[in-house]
A and B are shown apart, each in its own frame.
Chain A
Amino acid sequence: MIFAASLAAAVVIVVLSATALALWYERKLAARMQTRIGPQFVGPIGLFQPVADLLKLVQKEEIVPMGADRVLFALAPPLTVIFALAAAAFVPLWPGVAVVRSDVGVLLVIGFGGLAMVPVWMAGWASFNKYALLGAMRAVAQSISYGVPLVLAAMVPVILAGTMDLDGITQFQATHHWFGLWPIIPGLPAFILFLLAMLAESNRIPFDIPEAESELVAGVTTEYTGMQFGFVYLAEYVHTVVGAAIGSVMFLGGWDGPFAPGLHWLLLKTLCLFTFIYWIRWTLVRLRADQLMTLCWKWLVPAGLGLVFLSAAWNQTGWSR
């Protein structure tokens, strides 16, 4: 019990500090992709930029708009962070160890991912602002739509490994093969599908119509100031970091790796996936709302269904046993 609690605290601290680092990392990465330098003046190579941002956000006045639902308005930003962090509890850190080991870990992770839309809707509703409300509606519609291909993509490793336990999936991959690499036909497409759906779930570019600046000022965060905004901002990054971790657990073997398996492999793979996600983010332009829905329902969902059947067929061949 004490071990689990301290592990949970450690995971929260690690994820939050990793997120702070990710803020800096993303800005540097984006800057280099645009042949800029990025944060430079604070600390060595601008490393303290997230700290400065945090210190500034803490000092800003907190404004509650007239007509806003005060309780929901205040509650929503911390909840986004909590729900985004909750999924991190199920990530197996090294063999047999996660904060919470559950036989239905995959289900819970996806469930918490979907739950993250509730505070977004709360924020949009409570802000008493049409831009926030429109942004929240788009976010919820997008999240519901892309939940379907996300589940279908997550079904592939579940079927291949024969378990919904995340640690079980990782152990299967350690003893057999990484699902992102083999079997190549349901595995790699499912991995790509998972990444796409996860990008859309966390409302990142190219799926960021909920916060399209040209139309919706800043989406759900339009009315949030200071640390309230900081929470929403943080939650987005936590969501991406945790999502990258889950992706590496389900498709890239998590803690598994040559030499000594352990946490470092998980962190490395998460970093690689995170880089890839931000690479995509700073490359592509935003999809239009109808293109977004077309992509989801006409392409990704049928592809996901096909992949589920293919992975079941692969299991029937018995080649991986």
Chain B
Amino acid sequence: MGYFVDTLNSIGATVRNFLRPPVTVNYPAVIRPRPERYHTSFALLHDAPGDELCIGCLACERICPSFVIEIKQAPKRESPVTGKKRGYVEAFTLNLTACIGCELCVQVCPTDALVMLRTPEKPAFCREDLILDVKRLYANEKEKQAAWATGSRLIEMQDPNVGQPKVEKKPAPVAAAPAPAVTPVAASTPAAAPAPVAAEPAAAASEPIKGAS
């Protein structure tokens, strides 16, 4: 008798589901809102005056558990914007094929130069296409939407004196940053600004996908 009742119950369940509207999000046309800390790919950022943020300190390369970051430091030179002498990178290669997305490199970045992106990379036809060189990392800054986390925000979140993260806070104290020449820029960086979760900009939503014919 139990089987019989269970059978009737389950038949009722399928009918109830049949009458509900489908929960499917029509992917290529509509992109499901991604959480603000959703992170897939990477970008390097510029600060507000337009100077490169990365100083080539190798912190991310050293902490990466998967050894995917390869940095070639450039000799120190004067910044074209501030005029002070500071470090630059000559080559910054991020091998996305072996990245585990742990976000540690973002966490250790003293200048908030490296961020992860909410917009994923396009699936590639060959694995070399998934290696992000410095050009693509800077291009990603303009093309794609950044995730919430930056180095200073993550530090702030972990500091017990500060407590829970407050996104609207004044420019984050980059206390641990050994970057003398760069002004704290966490909140002023365009891509790191807190973005509304639900409404992705149209440019990010319309990825270069063609629906099946």
A residues at B contact (CB < 8 Å) = 31-37, 40-42, 279-280, 282-284
Contacts and interface: CB of A to CB of B under 8 A. Distances in A.
30 contacts: A31-B22, A32-B17, A33-B14, A33-B18, A34-B17, A35-B17, A35-B20, A35-B21, A35-B22, A35-B23, A35-B24, A36-B22, A36-B23, A36-B24, A37-B22, A37-B26, A40-B26, A41-B211, A41-B212, A41-B213, A42-B212, A279-B11, A279-B14, A279-B15, A280-B11, A282-B14, A283-B10, A283-B11, A283-B14, A284-B7
Contacts of B211: 41
Contacts of B213: 41
Across the A-B interface, give the 9 residue pairs with the lowest CB-CB distance, nearest first: A41-B212, A283-B14, A33-B14, A37-B24, A35-B23, A35-B22, A283-B10, A37-B22, A33-B18
Contacts of B203: none
B170 to A, nearest CB: 46
Contacts of A283: 10-11, 13-14
Nearest to B13: A283
A36 B14 CA distance: 12
Contacts of A279: 11, 14-15
Interface in B10-47: 10-11, 13-15, 17-18, 20-24, 26
A198 to B, nearest CB: 17
Interface of B: 7, 10-11, 13-15, 17-18, 20-24, 26, 211-213
Contacts of B10: 283-284
Nearest to A52: B212
Contacts of A41: 211-213
B21 to A, nearest CB: 8
Given A42-B212, A279-B11, A284-B10, 4 more contacts: A35-B20, A35-B21, A35-B22, A283-B10
A45 to B, nearest CB: 13
A37 B10 CA distance: 21
A300 to B, nearest CB: 14
Contacts of B14: 33, 279, 282-283
Contacts of A42: 212
Contacts of B22: 31-32, 35-37
A282 B133 CA distance: 49
B75 to A, nearest CB: 54
Contacts of B23: 35-36
Contacts of A280: 11
A32 B20 CA distance: 8
Nearest to A279: B14
A280 B97 CA distance: 45
A64 B47 CA distance: 64
A317 B14 CA distance: 42
Nearest to A295: B3
Contacts of A32: 17-18, 22
A282 B21 CA distance: 18
